[in-house]
Amino acid sequence: MIIKNNIVHDNGGIGIICSLDCFNIMIENNNVYNNTKMGIMFSRNMYDSVARNNIVSNEEDGIVISESHDNQIYNNKVLNSGRGIDLDKESYNNVIYNNAIRNIPVESDVLHIEEGGVEKNKVYDNDNNKTNASYEEVKSVNELKIKAQSTNIPSKEKQNNDPFSPN
């Protein structure tokens, strides 16, 4: 299944979710904003899937990987959300890299990884998943807190609720 080139907003729930044994899903080039929970969620045994080149904004959690494995999350932009990328400890063999995460209120929530999650997944980081040619594998959650400070840049006032408008 391909979920591509959509604008998903203000739906009162999760923006894009695949749950219960989804596999080979491509979530690509979507604009997801102003939903009440997560922007994009890999849930309960979603595997062999990709989320790339999406823009996620104004969500409780930007991108969530929960009880899912063997996925790739890269080249996404997550901004103005409660958490950037959230990875739980029941998820494994996921690869997360090259994501730009901005304006997350609590620095430890830029990349929120439950204890035990770092060891089971590959999270590459160089200045907290900002686009960069070189990567360093994250070895512990504590390292993230140090690097997260530079990602919280001031947000620009918006003329309307659409974070993708040219204003």
* pLDDT tens column, 127-145: 444 433 344 566 555 454 4
pTM of the model as a whole: 0.79
Residue 133 pLDDT: 36
Token pair in block for residue 127: 């200045």
Percentage of the chain modeled with pLDDT above 90? 62
In sequence order, the 6+-apart residues with CB closer than 8 A to the CB of 42 are: 18, 49, 51, 63, 64, 65, 66, 68, 71, 73, 91
Tell me which residue of 39, 46, 45, 118 sits closest to 76, measured CA to CA.
39
Domain boundaries, given as residue ranges, for the chain = 2-150
pLDDT at 153 exceeding the cut of 80: no
Average pLDDT, the chain: 81
Q: What's the CA angle centered on 63, arms 124 and 48, to 5 degrees?
A: 70
Q: Given this model, what pLDDT does residue 141 score?
A: 56
Contact 30, 7 (CB under 8 A): yes
Q: What is the pLDDT of residues 86-130, one digit of tens each?
A: 999 899 999 999 999 999 999 888 889 888 888 899 888 644 444
If we measure between CA atoms, which residue out of 147, 83, 97, 94 comes closest to residue 117?
94
pLDDT at 108: 84
Average pLDDT over residues 13-26: 96
Residue type, 81: S
